[in-house]
A and B are shown apart, each in its own frame.
Chain A
Amino acid sequence: MSRSARVEKLRAQSLEAKPWISTERAELLTTFHKKHRQALPAPIQRALAFKYILGHKTIRINEGELIVGERGEAPKATPTYPEICCHSVEDLEVLNSRPKTSFATSEEARRVYAADIIPFWQGKTIREMIFRDMTQGWKDAYEAGVFTEFMEQRAPGHTVLDDKIYRKGFLDFEQDIDESLAGLDELNDRDAWSKRQELEAMRICIHALIRYAERHAEKIRQLAQETDDDVRRGELLEAADICDWVPAHAPRTFHEALQYYWFVHVGVITELNTWDSFNPGRLDQHLLPFYRKGLADGTLTEEKARELLQCFWVKFNNQPAPPKVGVTAAESGTYTDFALINTGGVTPDGRDGVNELTYIILDVIEEMRLLQPSSCLQVSKKNPDQFLRRAGKIIKTGFGQPSIFNCDVIAQELVRQGKRIEDARCGGSSGCVEVGAFGKENYCLTGYMNLPKIFEISLNRGVDARTGRRIGIDCGDPTDCTSFGELIDAFRRQLRHFVDIKIRGNNVIERLYAMYMPTPFLSLLIDDCIARGKDYHDGGARYDSSYIQGVGLGSLTDIFAAIKHHVFDAGVVPLSELLAALRDDFEGREPLRQRLWNKSPKYGNDDDYADDLMRSIFEVYFEAIDGRPNTRGGNYHINLLPTTVHIYFGSVTGATADGRRAGQPLSDGVSPVQGADRLGPTAVLKSVGKMDHVRTGGTLLNQKLAPELLETEEGLTNFVHLVRSYFLMDGHHIQFNVVTAETLRAAQREPEKHRDLIVRVAGYSDYFCDLSEALQQEIITRTEHKAF
């Protein structure tokens, strides 16, 4: 473990800083709009606002850092995006005082909000437009916890950069814009004028970011003059030269490449509060030519490369996810902003993509041990076992990173969705487990769908038992069903009803973003927005996918299995009796609850009885969603991931037939119900492997391993075999928590002694003590597999 004194200091600064609300961006944006009241095409207006913010925001250079650029005035200073969601003063107070994922909010910030921000933005925000334009049916379902809505507080994001910035400077992008403009057919193309506006807006953004870099160079030169430290002066002058060169020009060195990316990253997360901040994708492959060239010409050493990467890591950790409130905070209760560094996999032409830099990056992940950026392995059958072993050694240290993806299956998934194979090979996962073609796709996660809740509504003939309100359709009296198939059919119709509501809402929301909130800066970076003259939010990307993420697959499988087994096959529990027990939350019916919990077939045990039901649910969900059109010229697909929403969804779902009490968490991702997998990891992998992952855009599997399993070399070998076997079955993703339940319980008792305990939550890691109590409990209950 080696971190230089410089990195040690920067890392400590990042870890010690507490997230706080910065009003600078909100103030600059408001000032801009007050100054420019003339009507402008939306892309131009957004571009000018972007330019204004980058032109006036504080330039912050942290002591000793080699990569520069902060989104806020200081590490962990977190801006707000009032054009999307304008927080009320009460929101700010909640953010300040809530026990988990809080943001310090000063009195001055509240004053500024009350005096300037709220009066200007109230009534004009995307959030308000969304809730204004949604139907009553949509609102009922949303409030009941049938689904969530990603875009009500944050802008669409879910995209990742490819290799283009390592080949082209921003001035080269400007040439591309000129070519695209030259090709406009103003006579016959009725969109020509709109395209021109969009392209000119992109040009404004180019110069906004170049100017932003120049401002850094100016500030750095000023600091260089002020310092007495000759070594630091040299570093600063070098950094200033780099800021002069990138992003205007293509990078020439390892250092320039990293700095270039970082300016782009800050640009993306300043323009809008995109879901999944943004990320550089396959960093090991992108940086390799610069690394090799630097070593060859003597301008770089391995040690220097490590330090630069470590400095780069700190920059991610300095930027918490923008503050979320309400349901959105419940579905994604974390500071993590889902930048996910991909390593390994294959090259665009399909060769083994693991290289010497891959291992250096894995070292950096272990040495830095930071929540952000998150990291993952893309494992191809072509990659050496050594790659997985190295990751196993990091996972063994128990901070949940890196997660592991099946590169070969991801390529299949993307090709099935209609992508070119070379684009698919350059794809991977962003944020959690969702996949896309890096640099070429807008793959938008639109919200979670609560599958057990929908079945509950189906059993209650369209009524939400929690509120007594009718929000679904009446599919008939379930006790009249003579076969289990009829119950599945009722679920199918109920699901379709809610998916239709969700998609109708999504269609409106997509248009709102396209019309009111174009994103010309991000559009520069994603093919083929420039070539098409189209915004990222309006079908500019080469591929445009929308996702609805299914939640509670394991729970619903066990619910189905319990009903099928006890009611229909064995015929020992009448459905009416079971429904009455569920209504009463098993009050006075503990033996029945125990029987349902202990003596029903359960998903996660390689039991075909349960697993076949899982596959039926998968098919029903797939058919309800996959292939339906979105408004951006693309299609809907499914994925199965939860972030933290399985806690929230569980809290609104009554008792279930698998023996789960009302309000308890649902299963996460494609994992079995917590504690229901009783035959060890191979049985879990077999069960999950029966799903057709290739027809998804990502599935998430959590596994908890006892630390002793990875203690020995033999243990690591078995770990590699487990992962390889799962991937032979076309599993999409797997991630591990290597920590004992005792340690977690100790951390609950004495959080102050376990502040640094990091665990895997969903598609990301988090500090255990920062998690809600319900989520802490849920992680403890996830079955721990021991070596026997």
Chain B
Amino acid sequence: MLFRAPAPFLEGGSGAEIGGRVDQVGAGTVRPTARETTGCLQVKGTIVRGMIFDIMKFAIHDGEGIRTTVFFKGCPLECWWCHNPESRSSQPQRIYRAGRCIHCGACIEACPEDALARENGRIVADLSRCDLRGRCAHACPTEATAIVGKEMTVAEVMEAIRRDRIFYDQSGGGVTFSGGEPGMQLDFLCALLDACAAEGIHTAVDTCGHLPWEAMEQVVRRTNLLLFDLKVMDAELHARFAGVGNEQILRNLELLAQMRAVEGMPYDILIRVPVVPGVNDDDANFERLATFLSRLPGERLPVDLLPYQKFGRSKYEALGMPHRLAGTEPPPDEQMQRFAAILRSHCLPVTVRGVHDES
């Protein structure tokens, strides 16, 4: 999920759907030893569980109306501009926000593995010793230390989704599954999509597109709206800035368009393109994008251009991850409009941050 204001990790107090119960986070999770890159299906007995890192209410830029966005943890891409760096790993992670820390040492005392220590006015962690059971987070009075990522059942997520039902009904909104890449937890995602369909809740899935076609097909047959991210058209640049090439992504989009053209319109697609200075902010990229999209079969797909925003830096710090676009400024509005014009010249319906502007 790209280009949003900084989502609170776990800033929910105990009132948060996820955040407040940090004491239970990670408890009982079977921790795979290696990072999985595809099809992260977590099945325990008959209960399907998924790894979620946030559930955000009043999301209004992820589809129609007032929505709830459910953020799945784990992504096959590693985009430099990602605002949700906590979404990459499919496992729970310990975060530390130095600005909130009052140095009371409760976390150090609580850690049974002696993984924590004081150093230069900060709490430092030896993550190799961390078992991610979150006793430090539970002990922390200020939420400076927290565990991001919680294993949830379909029923638990549905309970959170249902809470804002009155707003969906009033506004024509619903739920958006985002991430990370929700398709990486395919069974969990499909179970949630089915549960929403059964209750008449409108669904959207925000995908990076980098999934096996079989997975993509399962998702698209269950959702009302697909938010499909297209980042960089050049395969090499894509590999450089997102960690993987874009061949599978483009192929999936071709197949989706074909399927949509052949079967009528069982679902909507919105193409979402981040405009990131130094990465894809050149006319050539948008010319290629326009050509690609205008050659797809069927009705022209609408495109939403999203300017890079300087959010998320504090998250990189909290996770102890380097932010490779730390100095980058958002693209100027004129540039956004120029790229929009290029796409429009190919008869593609375009919005910038959801706003139609023909000027």
Please list the residues of chain A having a beta carbon within 8 angstroms of any beta carbon in chain B: 565, 590-595, 598-607, 609-610, 676-683, 686, 712, 714-715, 717-718, 721-722, 724-725, 728-729, 785-788
Q: Which residues of A contact B57 (CB under 8 A)?
A: 606, 679-680, 682-683
**Which residues of chain A are near B59, meaning CB under 8 Å?**
788
Judge whether B102 and A594 touch: CB under 8 Å: yes
Given the known A-B contacts A598-B143, A599-B141, A721-B167, are A788 and B7 also in contact in the complex, defined by CB atoms under 8 Å?
Answer: yes
- Nearest first, the 5 closest Cβ-Cβ pairs linking A and B are A605-B15, A721-B171, A595-B141, A594-B141, A607-B15
Residues of A within 8 A of B104 (CB): 590-591, 594
Quick check: B354 and A712 within 8 Å, CB to CB? yes
Apart from A604-B15, A677-B15, A714-B355, 9 more pairs, CB < 8 Å: A591-B141, A606-B15, A678-B8, A678-B12, A686-B163, A686-B164, A725-B66, A785-B58, A788-B69
Q: Are B4 and A788 in contact (CB under 8 A)?
A: yes
- Would you give the shortest CB distance from A217 to chain B, in whole angstroms? 54
User: Does B166 make an interface contact (CB < 8 A)?
Assistant: yes
B residues 53-70 near A (Cβ < 8 Å) are 56-61, 65-66, 69
- Chain B residues with Cβ below 8 Å from A679 are 12, 15-17, 57
A721, B170: Cβ atoms closer than 8 Å: yes
Decide yes or no whether B106 CB sits under 8 A from chain A: yes
Given contacts A591-B102, A680-B57, A682-B66, contact A600 B141 (CB under 8 A): no
Q: Contact at A724–B170, with CB atoms within 8 Å?
A: yes
**Is B331 interfacial (CB-CB < 8 Å)?**
no
State in angstroms the CA–CA spacing of A30 and B104 once bound together. 67
Instruction: Identify the closest chain A residue to B143 (Cβ).
Output: A598
B102 to chain A, nearest CB (A): 6
Most chain B CB neighbours (cut-off 10 Å) among A604, A683, A729, A788: A788
Check if B5 is an interface residue, CB within 8 A of chain A. yes
Asked whether B141 lies within 8 Å of A786 as measured between CB atoms, the reply is: no
CB atoms of B60 and A728 under 8 A apart:
no
Q: Which of B1-59 contact A (CB under 8 A)?
A: 4-5, 7-8, 11-17, 19-20, 56-59
Give complex CA distance A688, B354 in Å.
31
Given A679-B12, A682-B164, A787-B5, verify A601-B60 contact (CB < 8 Å). no
CA distance in complex: A602, B143 (Å) = 15
Q: Is the CB of A605 within 8 A of B66?
A: no
Instruction: Give the shortest distance, in Å, between B9 (CB) and chain A (any CB).
Output: 12
The verdict on A607 contacting B14 (CB below 8 Å), with A590-B104, A721-B66 known, is yes
User: Which interface residue of A595, A604, A679, A724 has the most chain B CB atoms within 10 A?
Assistant: A679
Q: A598-B13, A676-B13 are in contact. Are A592 and B60 (CB under 8 A)?
A: no
Given known pairs A590-B102, A605-B13, A788-B59, the reply for A718 and B66 (CB within 8 Å) is yes
The verdict on B224 contacting chain A, using a C-beta distance below 8 Å, is no
**CB atoms of B13 and A600 under 8 A apart:** yes
Q: In residues 81-117 of chain B, which contact A (Cβ within 8 Å)?
A: 102, 104, 106
One of B8, B17, B58 near A682 (C-beta < 8 A):
B58
Query: For A602, what are the chain B residues with a Cβ–Cβ distance below 8 Å?
Result: 13-15
Residue of B nearest to A687 (CB): B15
19 A-B pairs (CB sep. < 8 Å): A590-B102, A591-B104, A599-B14, A601-B13, A601-B20, A605-B13, A686-B163, A686-B164, A712-B354, A717-B171, A721-B65, A721-B167, A722-B66, A722-B167, A724-B170, A725-B166, A728-B170, A787-B60, A788-B58
Asked if B66 contacts A594 (CB within 8 A), the reply is no
B285 interface residue (CB < 8 Å to A): no
Does B153 make an interface contact (CB < 8 A)?
no
- B355 in contact with A598 (CB, 8 Å): no
Nearest B residue to A721, CB-CB: B171
* Residues of A with C-beta under 8 A to B12: 605, 678-679
Within 8 A of A (CB), among B137-193: 141-143, 163-164, 166-167, 170-171, 173
- Distance of A163 Cα from B106 Cα, bound (Å): 66
Query: Once the chains bind, are A718 and B14 in contact (CB under 8 Å)?
Result: no
**Are A788 and B141 also in contact (CB < 8 A) when A594-B102, A678-B13, A712-B354 are?**
no
Task: Tell me whether A725 and B170 are in contact (CB under 8 A).
Answer: yes
A604 to B12, CA, bound (A): 11
Contact B15 A601 (CB under 8 A): yes
Identity of the chain A residue whose Cβ is nearest the Cβ of B11 in the assembled complex: A678
Instruction: Return chain A residues, CB-CB under 8 Å to B17.
Output: 679
Q: A682-B164, A712-B354 are in contact. Are A787 and B14 (CB under 8 A)?
A: no
Q: Which residues of B have CB within 8 Å of A610?
A: 15
